[in-house]
Amino acid sequence: MSTEPAPTFPVTKVTPELILHRAARIEDAFHEFRENRARKRGYYTTVIPYTGYGSTTWIRVLSRVLLTRDKKHRRRLPLIGRRDETVRGWRSFTSVPVNEVEVTVTVDGVVHQVKADRGGVVDAELAVSLEPGWHTIQLQAEDSQIVEAPVFVIDPSAKFGVVSDIDDTVMVTALPRPLLAAWNTFVLDEHARMPTPGMAVLLDRLASVHPGSPTIYLSTGAWNVAPTLTRFLSRNLYPSGALLLTDWGPTHDRLFRSGREHKRDNLHRLAEEFPEMKWLLVGDDGQHDEEIYGEFEELYPNNVAAIAIRQLSPSEAVLAGGRSKAEDMSEKSQALWVYAPDGAGLAKQLRAAGLL
């Protein structure tokens, strides 16, 4: 009888295939149909750059790849008063996303390859070696023109930052009301959106008092409106910062994306990326900001400098579907909570607390 050991074979680890929700499969088929049709009609691949952020050893790159009629990339901040500056919100939703396309990212002469997701959105983390401050990176997909995106590299010594909601916090939109949300998103341009009184001054002063501190705008809005929001923030003199938005539509496991989970996930990510950073969380009492910020403070108490909540007016609260119970959140929290109807009132309380 042979004493030779039985032959062995390498074990192949099989990764279970991701089962997409039926709505996601329908969306993918629709996107593929639109993409094929747009390419036949001569549309051009275009990369829409968004502001990123990071540290001296890594950066988070944000952009979106679309098929558009125009080969030339339009200026993100046209001159005030020009007719081509007025772009209705619905136009940003008619562009055709390019799914899972390879994107070339050049950072300080080093070339990286990343891939867009199902909606054409690029959200990638790259290893780099950069000095603190603002930098410019280049992006290109397929035969598109090379575009530039700003990236803010946070100094390792920075210990303070701001995370701010957008809707009804820095910009009055009454977003939770479905009809008004559709009107603000699809019809109005950035000229018709109203800035919240005093909020631009508040955020600008915080950036001045804390040099090198990051300002990040976290919203449940769609990436489609990122150019409009960027123009709005710039025009109303808000400090520059990354926009963290979401891609509307179904996910792999649910019919529609959760705005609450989007905010929770990004807050948790920031806490893990910058464990020494204390964030001033800015929101309003008309949606779920207090609940989300309160949960974050319970999980990461050492990463919260304070929580500033803008109180909606009675009419805004009605449009937003009512108010949340602010007093309950402040009573059970160890963090500093401040409330005011505008930026001036919040600034006064933050100044008294030594944060401004």
Say if residue 40's pLDDT is above 50. Answer: yes
Give the pLDDT confidence of 130-154 residue by residue, as tens digits. 999 999 999 999 999 999 999 999 9
Higher pLDDT: 139 or 86? It is 139
- What pLDDT, on a 0 to 100 scale, did the predictor assign at position 214? 97
Range with the poorest average pLDDT among 46-50, 92-96, 147-151, 260-264 = 92-96
Tally the C-alpha atoms within 13 A of residue 1's C-alpha that lie toward its C-beta. Answer: 3
What integer pLDDT is reported at residue 3 of this predicted model? 52
Higher per-residue pLDDT: 85 or 63: 63
Comparing 83-87, 158-162, 304-308, which segment has the lowest mean pLDDT? Answer: 83-87
Residue 1: pLDDT band (50, 70, 90) is: very low
In the prediction, which pLDDT does 91 show? Answer: 55
Residue 126: both structure tokens together: 């790259």
- C-alpha angle 250/255/257, rounded to 5°? 55
Residue 92 has pLDDT above 70, yes or no: no
Rg of the Cα atoms in the chain = 22
State the Cα–Cα distance between residues 266 and 62, nearest whole angstrom: 13
**What single DSSP character describes residue 175?**
T
CB-based burial label for 319 (10 Å; 0-12, 13-18, 19+)? buried
Regarding predicted confidence, which is higher, 13 or 133? 133
Do the Cβ atoms of 212 and 158 come closer than 8 Å?
yes
Helix (H) or strand (E) holding 217: strand 215-222
**In this structure, what token pair is assigned to residue 189?**
């341009």
pLDDT category, 104, cuts 50, 70, 90? very high
Residue 120, Cβ neighbours under 10 Å: how many?
26
Name the strand (E) or helix (H) holding 97: strand 96-97
pLDDT value of residue 325: 54
Residue 213 scores a pLDDT above 90:
yes
Q: Domains in the chain, please, with CATH?
A: 43-153 (2.60.40), 160-352 (3.40.50.1000)
312 neighbors 339 (Cβ within 8 angstroms):
no
Q: Is the pLDDT of residue 163 over 70?
A: yes
pLDDT of residue 130: 97
Q: Which of 309, 296, 306 is closest to 263 using CA atoms?
A: 296
Separation CA 277–CA 50 (nearest Å): 23
Mean pLDDT taken over the chain = 81
- Say if CB 142 and CB 90 are below 8 A apart: no
| pLDDT top residue among 127 and 227 | 127
Q: What is the mean pLDDT of residues 314-330?
A: 56
pLDDT surpassing 80 at residue 256 = no
